[in-house]
Structure 1
Amino acid sequence: MTIRTAVLAATATAALLVAPEASATNYSLWIHGKNGGGTQRGNYADFSNWGPSTVSAGVNKKAVNWDGRQKISVENFRIRDALDCFCTGTNWCYIAVHSAGDLQIGYALSMYGGSARYKKNAVPNSTGVCGNTDGTTQVGWNIKWVDVASGAGGGSELADNGEWATSDPIVGDLVTSTARGMFNHNTTRSAWFYMFAGAKGTAYSGILSGQDDEAVAYHSTGGVSVKGGFCNPGDWFCDGTLNTGTAATSNGKAKWSYHTVSFRDDGENHNHYQNGNWENIVGVVRADMATYAY
């Protein structure tokens, strides 16, 4: 039994044990990364950052829109609002994130996943906040798993070296030392992070360590607990191979707890950018959500 099928079986059993005060519903939450286009914050139907909203991307999909120019801590309330709305009470969530969205969900789980959350009715107002159901609370949120498309949980050397020529506060959060020290990445509240790592880099992305997707390197997209130059099997001039699953890199660098590499881009076919059409590494995650998030 794989980690994913074991999680599906366990959460299905948990759902059966919940008192039938209301019908249980599953949702798929999509959390974008840096910038995020012209998305409307609080509007869970606005998928303009990702692509056509008609595309299959998991059961009852919702777009969790935040100001992707701002610091993670400043905008994290929007992620918590969405988790409260759709992932409490009898409802459960699948989460899909891209790039700095990895920092957003990791920050929410580590910093707030052990706090009391009011059970919500999944009916958001214009600001994305839902009403209480019965006034009771629960600890944290009901999350089945997190799919991560080229996650920036470990930051990017492009931020380290000033390659993003912008004053947006989010760039400071993406400095590798800052991103890695922002919260305890091992504290996921037992939610599995399935990492999808793209490797279609370009010549100008040589500033990134090891294999990369033009914006983020394998040390981050693979959930490795330390920074380093990690690559695909057989590549030269690397610190080690990024192994799939939960295994450490070939030179013994461990992944963060509850992080597993589901997809390593051995063919170097996928870069970082979805191009407003669910493309590249986001497309791989979209297909995974369409298959497994039901």
Structure 2
Amino acid sequence: MKLMRWLTALCLLAITGLASATNYTLWINGRNGGGTIGNYDSFTYWGPASAAAGVNKKAVNWDGYNSIATQNYRIRYALDCFCTGNNWCYIATHSAGDLMLGYVLANYGGSARMKKNPAPNSSGICGNSDGTSQTGWNIKWVRAAAGAAGGSELADYGSWAVSDPLTQDLKTTTARAMYNHNVTRGIWFYMYAGARGAAYSAILPGQDDEVVAYHSAGGVSGSSGGAFCNPSDWFCNDLTLGTAANQGGSLKWSYHSVSFRDDGESYNHYTNGNWGGIVSVVRGAMVNSAY
């Protein structure tokens, strides 16, 4: 009888543990920000909060102005809140949000993190759950729209005509030397590259979305950017899909795979307050895959 009670108790504990596990979808903004910092339900940067964007979606807001080094704690707060203990996260990034998340994983993804209850206060900080810790975060994968971890030539040449700290970080050589982009803690980054460029983005090499060129949006490795295009363009090397080496032999960073290349040149960089541009493609992927 005692054995039966003991086995029943164990089963109940297992069921309780399974029931408490929750998946979240985190959206990390890029340059200029816009959402209310600390409020994970503020989707101003992206578009209407009513839009489907993955299971239990949360907006990880940071100011999009100051440096990656001084703002990355905002992302760590969110990862601690929603991606520890029994909880797991899917993550979507846009533009400089890719640089931000890559920096966080490379520098803090191997650190001890206290397990948290996903109930943030007004500053976006969650309390400890059971007093235990874990190494890094529970992240299933990342989908990066117009990833800027490789920087942008618009920052190199002063095309934004600003001197904010983030623009300095987005210079191609600076972004690429900021951390080891091959260190993702085994987490896959699926890259989505837009190609609806404009005449004023002529300084961006190869195909681009008006702000970020394929070398960055496609996760191409190296100390500086290069020119990469769609197969229909004969004047520069193709950005290949998946993890394969690009035409000409250049490689992608480890755990980086091109999921979408804008062969139709249909998607630009901008959300336009309505989940627009290349973000629309990633949102569709999150709806279909983050559950």
| TM-score tier (shorter) | over 0.9
- In structure 2, stretches of 5+ residues that fail to align are 1-13
Question: Match of 1:201, as an amino acid?
Answer: G
Paired letter, 2:159: E
For the pair 1:91 / 2:119, whether they are aligned, the reply is no
Cα distance in 2 for residues equivalent to 1:152 and 1:197:
10
Equivalent residue, structure 2, for 1:161: 157
| Amino acid corresponding to residue 214 of structure 1 in structure 2 | E
Aligned equivalents of 1:29, 1:265: Cα separation in 2: 24
Q: Is the partner of 1:33 in helix, strand or coil?
A: coil
User: Residue 25 of structure 1: which of 22, 26, 29 is its match?
Assistant: 22
Larger radius of gyration: 2
Q: Which residue of 1 aligns with 2:260?
A: 263
Given the alignment, which residue of 154, 173, 191 partners 1:195? 191
Alpha-carbon distance, 1:129 to partner: 0.3
TM-score by length of 1: 0.92
- Alpha-carbon shift at residue 234 of structure 1 (Å): 2.7
Q: Is the 8 A contact 1:198 1:281 kept in 2?
A: yes
Whether the 8 Å CA contact 1:158–1:215 is kept in 2: the answer is yes
Aligned to 1:210: 206
Structure 2 distance, partners of 1:67, 1:76, is: 10
Partner of 2:239: 242
1:36, distance to aligned residue in structure 2 (A):
1.3
Normalised TM-score (structure 2): 0.93
C-alpha separation in 1, matches of 2:74 and 2:15? 27
Whole-angstrom CA distance in 2 between matches of 1:207 and 1:21: 52
Local SS of the residue matching 1:96: strand
Runs (4+) of structure 1 exceeding 2 A deviation are 17-22
- 1:7 matched to which residue of 2? none
- Partner in structure 1 of residue 269 of structure 2: 272
The partner residue of 2:127 within 124, 131, 141 is 131
Any idea what SS the aligned residue of 1:288 has? helix
How far 1:138 sits from its partner (Å)? Answer: 0.1
Deviations 1:177-209 (A, max 9, x none): 000000000000011000000000011111001
Residue 32 of structure 2 is matched in structure 1 by: 35
CA distance in 2, matches of 1:67, 1:178: 20
3-state DSSP class of the match of 2:282? Answer: helix
Distance 2:152 2:162 in 1: 15
Q: Distance in 2 between matches of 1:271 and 1:21?
A: 41
Partner in structure 1 of residue 231 of structure 2: 233
Task: Describe the superposition over 1:5-42 as per-residue Cα deviations: whole angstroms up to 9, x where unpaired.
Answer: xxxxxxxxxxxx999286100000000000012x2100
CA–CA distance in 1 between the matches of 2:130 and 2:176?
38
User: Residue 242 and residue 21 in structure 1: after superposition, are their counterparts in 2 closer, same or farther (change >3 A)?
Assistant: closer
Unaligned runs of 5+ in 1: 1-16
The amino acid that maps onto 1:288 is: A
Is residue 22–residue 90 contact of structure 1 (8 Å, CA) maintained in 2? no
Q: Which residue identity is paired with 2:58? A: K
Going from structure 1 to structure 2, the CA distance change for 1:293 and 1:86 (only over 3 Å counts) comes to: same
Contact 1:158–1:208 (CA under 8 A) maintained in structure 2: yes
Letter in 2 for 1:23: S
Deviations 1:35-73 (A, max 9, x none): 012x21000000011000010000000000001001001
Alpha-carbon distance between aligned partners in 1 of 2:15 and 2:66, rounded to the nearest angstrom:
38
AA of the residue aligned to 1:48: T
Q: Which residue of 2 aligns with 1:290?
A: 287
Alignment of 1:97-116 (within 5 A): 97-116=93-112
Q: Structure 1 residues 113 and 19 mapped into 2: Cα distance closer, same or farther (>3 Å)?
A: farther
Opposite residue 286 of structure 1, the aligned amino acid is R
Query: Residue 147 of structure 1: which of 137, 143, 147 is its match?
Result: 143
CA distance in 2, matches of 1:199, 1:22: 43
Residue identity in the other structure for 1:44: Y
Deviations 1:99-142 (A, max 9, x none): 00001110110000000000000000000000000110000000
**Aligned with residue 176 of structure 2, among 158, 166, 180:** 180
Is 1:113–1:140's contact at 8 Å kept on the other side of the alignment? Answer: yes
Alpha-carbon distance, 1:267 to partner: 0.1
SS in 2 for 1:124: coil
